[in-house]
Structure 1
């Protein structure tokens, strides 16, 4: 892939002599990358590394395009970093990874997330990198039961390609970090007031449209997943960079909300906010649910897939005491408290909400 620098306003400023230290953000054009760049740029020179083409990182960062699957491309990108900023790098916030919610196996998990990170970390050994932050996931852990929290030393048991790629990449970082400090942030599912969470936005969509499937669930409705507001995630990333000198040489840290809403709680809350009533939800046997999911997939349903049914009983609750102790971080938001804002945005501008969440609006909205 061609190596290109897009932010020409930064080319000749001489940042290697700046008092500001340098931070690199990979996956810098994504939703998280673009926002953490804006945060960090107040105190650091920020370089955004991502694939060539739109969207580009925000103007606060110099955009250096690279292909993380190509060692040659990574080296060329880092040559640009060395030329403009020197070899000293305060922190690398590594967000670039492959993700596909369809659940289908893909070689890209290995090529992008695992091998791509391995190539990147090895090239970074030619630089003086103080800290390497990796965005892992809470899904690497073995699921738990309600009121039994998962701490960082609990067993890992990834059960599909995405978390498996994160476990493999964590190990790659441990084996190849050399003198870099490594922070493995195990993140919960991210959302904000617009939605921007695939499972949450689809759950809202089903209830908003009164879909037949919105009343059925193939798992234990008292179980659920843990979530994380975007602003709380940005706070955690910023504090991880700021406290890099005080952190251990290698550490894993859970980042998520301390309370996990159950599937039923989400159903009832969304139902009340949209339709003014609790949402009747019935648990159905997995074989029946799989047959129904297969039929919906055949006729074009965009979300519910048979693989999700196997994991419908999975439950995650995080112990975040390490984040409190080492980062002085704890979440200030909760998904349940944010749902009213999310639903209000849906009600006030449904078409925009569907667009923001990459959902196909119902035909009646298109007519309006």
Structure 2
């Protein structure tokens, strides 16, 4: 990668932190609320907001990689989650991008989400980069509105906009449901997933996603494009559980509970949305990404699962 002057947000986060370790040949400036311990990179302390002034941080910057966000949570305690998501993910993003364009930044890379497209796929038809935006929750709406605003900004200012939509991102240090499932299987709990074979879900390891981000920093054909990201190897829930057992040298003790039982329990407990995420499909077609950038995910799913299993 050629040497660039990159402003990175979200360096304390899962994806941004991994990307930071891979940008050694570039001058990286970190923008965030909390300095990184033992980091040698120049740091500018600031909140992400629609009124913050980033002028000094953007001085001389050629590329912005915007990974910071108000992240999706399963049970949001906010009384108005859409406003809170949009405040950070939409309005603050646009404020940063406007100032980046004014500062002469060449390219603005925005880490979005596949939730812009929706929550699930059916009939074996994966999401395509050419599909309409159909977000179904406040987080997805905030990301979709940010995308649309960024594209308009790029058209009026000439700053190159690159948008990347990943599905669930995993790897060493992953948290939430993926980490819980890995931990339960590692402890030998016989989870009831053996019969959930008919669905397919796209995932992306943080290592593959970071590789794609690095490509998008410098590839000329990345300009003004939207890219879907995945490992390009979709798994059923049963396959995921089996692989989690394998990488932890555990016997696959998953139980063959029929799928209809999950549906029934979901209805009885008013948890159908949760059940749908377990038994449903969410697939991404990354053909456009691979062909445009001449890219393929360099790391296997098993590689990512092994690292995600590390204690």
Give the whole-Å Cα distance in 2 for the aligned partners of 1:268 and 1:144.
Answer: 23
Aligned-partner SS, 2:165: strand
1:11-160 alignment to 2 at 5 Å?
Answer: 21-42=4-25, 44-51=26-33, 53=34, 56=36, 59-71=39-51, 73=52, 75=53, 77-82=54-59, 86=60, 89-104=61-76, 106=81, 107-142=83-118, 143-145=120-122, 147-160=124-137
1:1-368 alignment to 2 at 5 Å?
Answer: 21-42=4-25, 44-51=26-33, 53=34, 56=36, 59-71=39-51, 73=52, 75=53, 77-82=54-59, 86=60, 89-104=61-76, 106=81, 107-142=83-118, 143-145=120-122, 147-177=124-154, 178-192=157-171, 194=172, 196-209=174-187, 214-215=191-192, 221-243=197-219, 245-248=220-223, 250-271=224-245, 273=248, 275-282=250-257, 283=259, 284-286=261-263, 288-289=265-266, 291-292=268-269, 307-340=273-306, 342-343=308-309, 345=310, 353=311
Q: 1:100 to 1:78 in 2, by over 3 A?
A: same
Kindly state the Cα deviation for residue 134 of structure 1 after the two structures are TM-superposed: 0.6
**Number of paired residues?**
300
Gaps of 5+ in 2: none
Say which structure, 1 or 2, has more relative contact order (CA 8 Å, 6+ apart): 2
Aligned-partner SS, 2:288: helix
**Is the 1:24–1:91 contact (alpha carbons within 8 Å) kept by the matching residues of 2?**
yes
Kindly state the Cα deviation for residue 195 of structure 1 after the two structures are TM-superposed: 5.1
- Give RMSD over aligned pairs: 2.9
Kindly state the Cα deviation for residue 231 of structure 1 after the two structures are TM-superposed: 1.8
Kindly state the Cα deviation for residue 61 of structure 1 after the two structures are TM-superposed: 2.1
Structure-1-length-normalised TM-score: 0.72
**Is the 2:237–2:279 contact (alpha carbons within 8 Å) kept by the matching residues of 1?**
no
Give the whole-Å Cα distance in 2 for the aligned partners of 1:125 and 1:39.
Answer: 25
| Deviation per residue, 1:247-305 (Å, 9 max, x gap) | 34x2101111112110011123334555423411422244523655x7xxxxxxxxxx7
Kindly state the Cα deviation for residue 148 of structure 1 after the two structures are TM-superposed: 3.2
